[in-house]
Structure 1
Amino acid sequence: MSTLLRILRFTRSLTPYYVGIMVAAAIITAAGIAVPFITGAATDVVVDAVASVNDGSGVPEGAIRTVVLLALALLAASLVETFVSNVGGYWGDVMSARMRTILSTRYFEQLLALPQRYFDSELSGTIVARLNRSITEVTNFMKSFSNMFVTMIMTTIAVLTISAWHYWPLAVLLAIAYPLYLWLTALTSRKWQRIEDAKNVHVDEASGRFAEVIGQMRVVKSFAREESELNKFDGHFNETIGLTSAQSRHWHTMDGLRRAVLNVIFFALYIIIFVRTVTGFFTPGEMVMLIQLMAMARQPVQNLSWVVDMGQRAAAGSRSYFEVMDLDPATASGSGSFPIDPDHAPAQAPTAGPRPAVSFKGVSFGYDDDSKVLEDITFHAHRGERIAFVGESGGGKSTLISLLLGFYGTHNGNIEVAGAGADLASLRRGIGVVFQDPSLFSGTIAENIAYGRPDATRAQIEDVAGRAAVAEFVAKLPDGYDTLIGERGMKLSGGQKQRIAVARAMLKDAPILVLDEATSALDTKSERLVQQGLDDLMHDRTSFIIAHRLSTIAEVDRIITLKGGRIDEVGSPAELATSGGIYAELLSLQNSASKADRKRLKRFDVIG
């Protein structure tokens, strides 16, 4: 019931549809209840007419007219039921579509609000599978429930009232049947849901792995892992077979018990009706009417089992849905502070000189509480300054960028970004990024270039495409900038994708630029072309560079070297070249021909 109430609160805008569907169900129920009365009346007229004919008195006057009118009444009831059921079905279909839209949109909105830390521990395929399964089960349940709830309630009340009017023991037996059946169903439900939760875990994991394998099919095939992946996938679903077997055995055992109890109670009801008819208390028409009412009385009880079954699926499915919806983005991000704009920060003592564009002040961070990737990082970047980060692989260079973008909160210290605005969205709008992984979307080349600035004109798109050496290969494509590139840009080479990512950052034209090994996937010719565009882009912008080649950082203003998660040295390329530190060591290794030195060079993600 709590699940149902939460869904209703989530979708309160659909109340007119719920009311309409229930009104339609009420009309259908009323038409259905009228049928036993019409049939019973017709039975009495026919029995009396047959008796009169057998006595030689002939057909009673008005008998034919009466049965014809009763037949027309049956037709009218059937037509009303047919018409209204289709109207209710239409409302139900529209309601389901709107509910799917509401639940899906709110789920997507919540995912967009959750921090990067959440996605670090979740498979994207699992997230998608959870959405599809949960919402399908919830919408199916709500549609069926809204159609059946009023029918069950009205039918139950009508049958109990009519039965009590004719003979009170009938109503007493029915009053015992309903709660007894509901109690037995509730006993079944608890164990059923526990098993269903376990099944959902396997299905979600299998679906998540499925999506991941499809997205990395080249890797799977390259390492000949098809059979292994298939076995893992098959193993998850084989686990669901055993769980389903136990679940089904429990369900059908209890269902057999429930139905046996129900059969005994209805046996007693039929005995009472037959005996009362034989002894003259009920007319044949009343007997027919009551038998039909008893058949109608079974439907709410049996439907209750089906509704509970669907409700269990909806409850189990919605549990994982609401687990995501209940996450507090602030809490899910972990403890720590995010980048702030000093103009929006609490008043502090004024500092001498111009305010830095970016300041890291005593920043420490780890992806979990037991280890630290960065510790006591302090530096300032001034407007228009180019700063490169150098250090061993895993030394925290990319983590610094993730903290600057607000993907994670710092454990200690804080980051200040001038002009960043009052929230993370404002911060990120002021930073252009080119990652080592281009991360393109399906769609056209023009759409991907304009992703950070969707209102850009075609002329602006083509301008940055020329500066980023994109125009060179686009000219050879039959559809030019309208060429579809496939999921993650799979129809393009690595260098082509990277050039599009560079053009995307150029078009965004943000005051802060981040180049996270931006030219690592380019050949020498493409790198030279792109680097010229990046040099233009970095002009008068605060730029942070993680370099794959030492040649790309030779012209920066300052280099910050990282060692063991701490800042080791800070200085210009010329200063650090002779300091004897990490940068000087890299320059030495780069010029060395020995295999040992080349091997050590790889530890720094540098290829010379």
Structure 2
Amino acid sequence: MRSIIRILGVARDLWPTYAAIVVASLAVAGTGLLTPFIVKAATDHVVDLTQGNASGIATVVWLAAALLAADLANTVLTNVSGYLGDTMAARLRATLSSRYYAKLLALPQRYYDHELTGTVINRLSRSITSVTGFVNMFANSFFQMILTVVAVLAITAYYSWPLAVLLAVIYPVFLWLTTITSARWQVLEAEKNQDLDVAGGRFAEVIGQIRVVKSFVQERRELEVFDDRYRRTVRTTRTQSRYWHTMDATRRGALNVIFFGIFAIIFVQTARGVFTIGVMVLLIQLVTMARQPVFMMSMVVDSGQRAIAGSRDWFAVMAELGERDELPAPVPPTGRATSAPVEVAFDHVSFGYGDDDAVLRDVSFTIRPGERVALVGESGGGKSTLVSLLLRLYSPDQGQIRIDGTDVASLPLEELRGGIGVVFQEAALFSGTIRENIAYGAPDATPEAVVEAARSAGAHEFVSRIPAGYDAEIGERGLKLSGGQKQRIAVARAMLKGAPVLVLDEATSALDSRSERLVQAGLDRLMAGRTTLIIAHRLSTISSVDRIITLRDGRVDEIGTPDELAASGGIYAELLALQASATTRDLKRLRQFDIRV
């Protein structure tokens, strides 16, 4: 229950609505309690009429009207309470979802290295649905249930204290038995949630890579893996439900025996003349009302267990250490020609992913302002890791990375990343329009600036041929575009940002020769006056840079101009020789360096 209270603490602005729901639910209980008294009065009056001890039908009619008024009031208040509960649940869902999303956006890259995207999404849906559902039920039912129980016990005690004692004993005993039952239920629920999250994660992953699945004819295997997880949840649910309902049947059976005793006492006392027919009817209705909270308690506890399990997952994510305490403020683009080039230095940097062996070992080099530097090394040799460290997606285990002499660890993340433009090897686009994707880093860019960036990237020509032009929807991850078209959009996005530091993970690697020439011309204009780090995949790109840095086994092997390294006998010289050979064996060796001829 403590976790649910923590959830309500997170959404303090909902407390007035929550209080209104409580008041409405108490009013519902109050109008419901009027009904037994009206029925009692009507019963006694009708009995008196039939026995000739009273006269006049008007009183019965007025009592029937009072019963109608009570029922109408109960109906209206029930729906008012329901409306408030629905809106509060929607607002609570929005609040918890927003907090969850904001937290995910602030978490470091390491968190996502160990989580499936679909699992993260499934956890959001499952945990927040269970929490909001319980809070809504609790607000509408719990306080109403408490008022009903207290009123029933008080009224019953007025007529017969032994009956009130019997009723009073039921609640704590039932709650205690339910709490004992829930301990094992929680363990089984955690197992089931784990399977659901894994299944949801795989589901999202497969749908996102459906072309790969179909290309390798793995639809049946993926379905079997998915079904296996759900079969496990069915097995767990059988065990969980069998245990819960066995215990619930035992509890309810015991209660049925107790209520049998209560009803027997009422009937016997009425037959002996202790109670009037009206009092008997009143007590029967009150006992019936008392039964409902007891059995409802089982539903509340069941829903509460799911909410507690869900809230634990939610709080587990919220407890993760983020990159920062809050999301960064938007950073305006630096301007295409307004930022002076800067110096980038790696000083004795070492890094490894978790407990794995180090990917980088004592790496040191400096990129001078406005210089173009290419990184060359075998696949997995740490080239992309250097870029991730520069962006502070990870932090070095040892050493420093400095921009113009300032340790990047001391810079606000928004300032650091706002000053670096990146074009990844695999173009990462979002669903939406071409215009929105080009202006992703500069949402306020003018239409003219967007078109200019597209022209420089060689994208304007193919965009103009699309009927909707820059307003064309490109689908999830740009699925409606070819690889080369997506890459040109990504290049245009970096051009529009206009940051003083540029990182190119071989931005032209997915382009045909004609498109490559168009984009390369734009990149040449973009790189002018900017410090550029290129992860090279083509020898033609490497030959045009100012200097080359080669990496071997996570260490800097050589640094020099293309001409110097061509004659040094190192990695770059080897690549040139392999290109000249062009045998199958040598081409295979080239691919180990991610090099395309």
Q: TM-score, normalised by structure 1?
A: 0.94
Residue in structure 1 matched with residue 489 of structure 2 by the alignment: 500
Q: Deviations over 1:500-551 (max 9, x none)?
A: 0000000000000000121110111111110110011000101000111011
Residues 1:60 and 2:54 are matched in the alignment: yes
Classify 1:585/1:234 alpha carbon distance in 2 versus 1 (closer, same or farther; 3 Å).
Answer: same
Contact 2:341–2:501 (Cα < 8 Å) also in 1: no
Residues 1:26 and 2:12 are matched in the alignment: no
Residue in structure 2 matched with residue 255 of structure 1 by the alignment: 248
Residue in structure 1 matched with residue 186 of structure 2 by the alignment: 193
Counterpart pick for 1:417 among 388, 399, 403? 403
Residue in structure 1 matched with residue 124 of structure 2 by the alignment: 131
Residue in structure 1 matched with residue 422 of structure 2 by the alignment: 433
1:139 is aligned with what amino acid?
Answer: T
Q: Distance in 1 between matches of 2:583 and 2:250?
A: 81
Q: Distance in 1 between matches of 2:556 and 2:176?
A: 67
1:443 is aligned with what amino acid?
Answer: G
Residues 1:154 and 2:143 are matched in the alignment: no
SS in 2 for 1:443: coil
Figure out how many residues of one structure are paired with residues of the other and give that number: 580
Q: Which runs of 4+ in 1 moved over 4 A?
A: none
Q: Deviations over 1:131-151 (max 9, x none)?
A: 111111111111111000111
Classify 1:593/1:4 alpha carbon distance in 2 versus 1 (closer, same or farther; 3 Å).
Answer: closer
Residue in structure 2 matched with residue 114 of structure 1 by the alignment: 107
What does residue range 14-413 of structure 1 map to in structure 2 within 5 Å?
A: 14-52=14-52, 60-61=54-55, 63-329=56-322, 357-413=343-399
Counterpart pick for 1:529 among 515, 518, 521? 518
Contact 2:17–2:84 (Cα < 8 Å) also in 1: yes
1:183 is aligned with what amino acid?
Answer: W
Q: Per-residue deviation at 1:480?
A: 0.7
Q: Per-residue deviation at 1:355?
A: 11
Classify 1:317/1:188 alpha carbon distance in 2 versus 1 (closer, same or farther; 3 Å).
Answer: same
Classify 1:192/1:364 alpha carbon distance in 2 versus 1 (closer, same or farther; 3 Å).
Answer: same
Q: Distance in 2 between matches of 1:16 and 1:416?
A: 51
Residue in structure 2 matched with residue 453 of structure 1 by the alignment: 442
Q: Deviations over 1:469-523 (max 9, x none)?
A: 1011112111111111100000110000000000000000000000012111011
Q: Which runs of 5+ in 1 are unaligned?
A: 53-58, 333-353
Q: Distance in 2 between matches of 1:356 and 1:330?
A: 25
Contact 1:206–1:237 (Cα < 8 Å) also in 2: yes
Q: Per-residue deviation at 1:597?
A: 1.6
1:254 is aligned with what amino acid?
Answer: M
Residue in structure 1 matched with residue 573 of structure 2 by the alignment: 584
1:22 is aligned with what amino acid?
Answer: V
What does residue range 502-517 of structure 1 map to in structure 2 within 5 Å?
A: 502-517=491-506
Q: Per-residue deviation at 1:595?
A: 2.1
Q: Distance in 1 between matches of 2:189 and 2:133?
A: 17
2:114 is aligned with what amino acid?
Answer: S
Q: Distance in 2 between matches of 1:67 and 1:393?
A: 92
SS in 2 for 1:362: strand
SS in 2 for 1:329: coil
1:258 is aligned with what amino acid?
Answer: R
Q: Deviations over 1:170-198 (max 9, x none)?
A: 11111110011111111111111111111
SS in 2 for 1:484: coil
1:568 is aligned with what amino acid?
Answer: D
Residue in structure 2 matched with residue 598 of structure 1 by the alignment: 587
Q: Per-residue deviation at 1:369?
A: 2.6
Q: Distance in 2 between matches of 1:147 and 1:290?
A: 25
Q: Distance in 2 between matches of 1:466 and 1:10?
A: 48
Q: Distance in 1 between matches of 2:503 and 2:392?
A: 13
1:366 is aligned with what amino acid?
Answer: G
Contact 1:38–1:73 (Cα < 8 Å) also in 2: yes
Q: Distance in 1 between matches of 2:492 and 2:203?
A: 33
2:563 is aligned with what amino acid?
Answer: A
Q: Per-residue deviation at 1:60?
A: 2.8
SS in 1 for 2:355: coil
2:589 is aligned with what amino acid?
Answer: R
Contact 1:364–1:376 (Cα < 8 Å) also in 2: yes
Q: Per-residue deviation at 1:467?
A: 0.9
2:201 is aligned with what amino acid?
Answer: G
Contact 1:356–1:380 (Cα < 8 Å) also in 2: no
Q: Distance in 2 between matches of 1:456 and 1:426?
A: 19
Contact 2:24–2:77 (Cα < 8 Å) also in 1: yes
SS in 2 for 1:492: coil
Residues 1:8 and 2:2 are matched in the alignment: no
SS in 2 for 1:300: helix
Contact 1:388–1:558 (Cα < 8 Å) also in 2: yes
Q: Deviations over 1:109-147 (max 9, x none)?
A: 000000111111111111111111111111111111100
2:34 is aligned with what amino acid?
Answer: A
Q: Distance in 1 between matches of 2:308 and 2:119?
A: 18
Q: Distance in 1 between matches of 2:78 and 2:285?
A: 21
Q: Per-residue deviation at 1:594?
A: 2.3
Q: Per-residue deviation at 1:356?
A: 6.2
Q: Which runs of 5+ in 2 are unaligned?
A: 326-339
Q: TM-score, normalised by structure 2?
A: 0.95
Q: Distance in 2 between matches of 1:404 and 1:9?
A: 38
Q: Per-residue deviation at 1:415?
A: 0.9
Q: Per-residue deviation at 1:591?
A: 1.1
Contact 2:376–2:548 (Cα < 8 Å) also in 1: yes
SS in 2 for 1:148: helix
Contact 1:364–1:372 (Cα < 8 Å) also in 2: yes
2:358 is aligned with what amino acid?
Answer: K
1:241 is aligned with what amino acid?
Answer: V
Q: Distance in 2 between matches of 1:222 and 1:594?
A: 30
Q: Distance in 2 between matches of 1:472 and 1:219?
A: 30
Q: Distance in 1 between matches of 2:256 and 2:324?
A: 54
Q: Distance in 2 between matches of 1:547 and 1:359?
A: 19
SS in 2 for 1:591: helix
1:463 is aligned with what amino acid?
Answer: E
Q: Distance in 2 between matches of 1:356 and 1:18?
A: 55
Q: Deviations over 1:423-463 (max 9, x none)?
A: 11211110000001101000111110000111101100000
Q: Distance in 2 between matches of 1:401 and 1:579?
A: 26
SS in 2 for 1:373: strand
Q: Per-residue deviation at 1:223?
A: 0.4
Which piece of structure 1 moves more, 495-504 or 553-562? Answer: 553-562
Contact 1:125–1:209 (Cα < 8 Å) also in 2: yes
Which piece of structure 1 moves more, 92-101 or 271-280? Answer: 271-280
SS in 2 for 1:389: strand
SS in 1 for 2:445: coil
Q: Aligned-residue CA RMSD in angstroms?
A: 1.5
Counterpart pick for 2:508 among 501, 519, 522? 519
